[in-house]
Amino acid sequence: MKIDMTRYLPILTWGRDYNRSALSNDLVAALIVTIMLIPQSLAYALLAGLPPEAGLYASIVPIILYAVFGTSRALAVGPVAVVSLMTAAALSNIVEQGTMGYALAALSLAGLSGIILLTMGLFRLGFVANFLSHPVIAGFITASGIIIAASQLKHILGIDAHGHNLLEVVISLTQHLSEINWITAIIGILGTGFLFWVRKGLKPLLQRFGLSNGLTGVLVKTGPVAVVVATTVAVWAFGLADKGIKIVGEVPQSLPPFTLPSFSTELLGQLLLPAFLISIIGFVESISVAQTLAAKKRQRIDPNQELIGLGAANIGASLTGGFPVTGGFSRSVVNFDAGAETPAAGIFTAVGLAIAALTLTPLIFFLPKATLAATIIVAVLSLVDFSILKRSWNYSKADFSAVLATIVVTLTMGVEVGVSAGVGLSVLLHLYKSSKPHIAEVGQVPGTEHYRNILRHDVITTPQIVTLRVDESLYFANARYLEDKIHNRVAGDKKIRHVILLCSAINEIDLSALESLEAINERLNEMNVKLHLSEVKGPVMDRLEREHFLSQLSGQVFLSQFEAYEALKVLPNA
């Protein structure tokens, strides 16, 4: 068997046609993204409970590996807010933050997550992510954003606090509120305020000066760099570090180190579920960004190859001092808007970050943690969006319940329980709905061969024929319900001689349902009523032909409901 290498190594496709124009576009994009990523990487390391350099390391090798294996041309891979929060939540349950064991566990989490993603990709299991419904994701991102913002308040106020859900964080903040460090608070609040203004106020201002939409967008995204420079200089110049303000401190000048994650059985057991959830959430976030950007240039994203790309990136993160990564929304959009044409832009970004890790780290010695917290808060609050609650309330109470449960459980019990509750409830509600299917009695729309619900349309019916359209596949969860429904409809009406099951909406009949149909056929036969089927779909019919049911059926199977009705209405009424 010849393996198409370009499928597993997309770099072979875009690399072949690489030219000077793409090179210059990619270089410009890489420069802008690098500047934006320096503060963002440090901030997300802080959020994940890790030393700042881990954020830089997690952005270097992973971005290169994704460039080799990934299918998106614009996706930028690295630490992102929600996954960093989930990392902190997973690790804090196991080891104490700030210890070597914590950093080691972060490597293991990234490695495990990488293996999970890679395995899912190789076995083409990308569909698993589909079980995260859009409303559940929206609710989860909103709730996570709130928790992240709340958890960063401690850095803004210069106090100690902890917790991985909103309740814990708020209680802990309240308890330590008296220890507030006012200098930290002033820097934190000013920084946050400035960044909000950059988002809301600066963009219109720049546009009024005639700058293009794309360029203002990029400029606005580099706002954090300005705050970083200003507050670092202020702390250094006024000696604020001696006044209790917490700073980043010494960061090693080094390329990403070679690291080996721990794979002790106990640790793996504890990390397996969090790693799975991080993989799925990271994959869903990443693929959504990738598909949005690809659609704008009519490019194709292969979900299973994306799993491989993200898996490789996470394994890379675990081997080079990082932590779990995925394709980030804001960094990818900046990359795209700045004109990146190929994943080479990602490789150049990695080079830029490597240079920064080697040379610039002494410059951030005096960078206040409050500044990083401010950049996190402003970034995540843009994710918070409660409109999904209103929309789902209007459209479907089942979707609404799933969103509400996701938000409430995430806020009160943390990210892992929250997303599991959302997925679990969506699946249960879906099963519940299909366990009590809509069953319509239908009649002929006059002058057509078309049959519709007798309660909604003016249709023609005949007393001795009842046609029931079951609006659901028949399977174990609703098999008994159908038995009851048909029994109840026929038992009271002595005129009925024929029951036609209009099967146009029945996409599957499993063995439980087949046994129920046999029981229905037998019971109707005892009441001297014949059971017919119409419009049975090809795949369903194929399956029925493997069993005895069709030979036991008291009535016939008709290709169309019209044929069935025409044939049966002329039969003698006996």
| By the rule CB under 8 A, 430 interacts with its own copies | yes
Q: Which of 471, 485, 489, 569 binds its own copies (CB under 8 A)?
A: 471
Of the candidate residues 320, 375, 426, 444, the single one contacting its own copies (CB under 8 A): 426
With binding defined as CB under 8 A, does residue 142 bind its own copies? Answer: no
Q: Which of residues 236-295 bind its own copies (CB under 8 A)?
A: 295
Beta strands in 37-167 (DSSP E): 77-78
Q: Are 101 and 95 in contact (CB under 8 A)?
A: yes
> What is each CA distance from 456 to 419, 434, 499, 562, in whole angstroms?
40, 22, 20, 19
For its own copies, which is the closer residue by CB, 65 or 477? 477
Total number of residues binding its own copies (CB under 8 A)?
65
Residue 127 DSSP one-character state: G
| CA distances to 65, 76, 297 from 15, in Å | 14, 18, 18
Contact segment (CB under 8 A) with its own copies among 69-77, 195-203, 368-376, 422-430 equals: 422-430
Site residues (CB under 8 A) for its own copies, limited to 385-414: 391-392, 394-396, 398-399
523 interacts with its own copies by CB under 8 A: yes
Distance CA 299, CA 196 (A): 34
Kindly give, in sequence order, each residue whose CB lies less than 8 Å from that of residue 43, ignoring residues fewer than 6 positions away: 55, 224, 372, 373, 375, 376, 379
Distance CA 341, CA 25 (A): 7
Q: What's the rounded Cα separation, in Å, for the pair 346 and 22? A: 13
The residue within the footprint of its own copies, chosen from 20, 546, 573, 574 (CB under 8 A), is 546
- Least separation in angstroms between CB 62 and its own copies: 25
Candidate list 134, 200, 243, 495; residue touching its own copies; CB under 8 A: 134
Query: Of the listed pieces 27-35, 80-88, 271-279, 531-539, which binds its own copies according to CB under 8 A?
Result: 531-539
Say how far apart CA 74 and CA 29 lie, in whole Å.
10
Two tokens at 511?
């063995």
Q: How far is the CB of 563 from its own copies (least distance, A)?
A: 9
| CB of residue 74 to its own copies, shortest distance in Å | 18
Q: Is 351 in the site for its own copies (CB under 8 A)?
A: no
Helix (H, G, I), strand (E, B) or coil at 449: coil
Find the binder of its own copies among 333, 475, 497, 501 (CB under 8 A).
475
* Residue ranges in 463-510 assigned as alpha helix (H): 476-491
User: What is the rounded CA–CA span in Å between residue 568 and residue 465?
Assistant: 8
Amino acid identity, residue 366?
A: F
Q: How far apart are alpha carbons 203 and 219 in whole angstroms?
A: 9
Using the rule CB under 8 A, which residue among 511, 528, 552, 571 binds its own copies? 511
Residue 539 makes contact with its own copies by CB under 8 A: yes
Distance, CA of 219 to chain centre: 28
Q: Does the protein bind its own copies through residue 450 (CB under 8 A)?
A: yes
Question: Which of 63, 132, 156, 278 forms a contact with its own copies (CB under 8 A)?
Answer: 132
Query: Which residues of the shown chain bind its own copies in the complex (CB under 8 A)?
Result: 127, 130-136, 295, 391-392, 394-396, 398-399, 426-427, 430-438, 440, 445, 448-450, 452-453, 456, 471-473, 475-481, 504-508, 510-512, 514-515, 523, 537-539, 543, 546-547, 559-560, 562
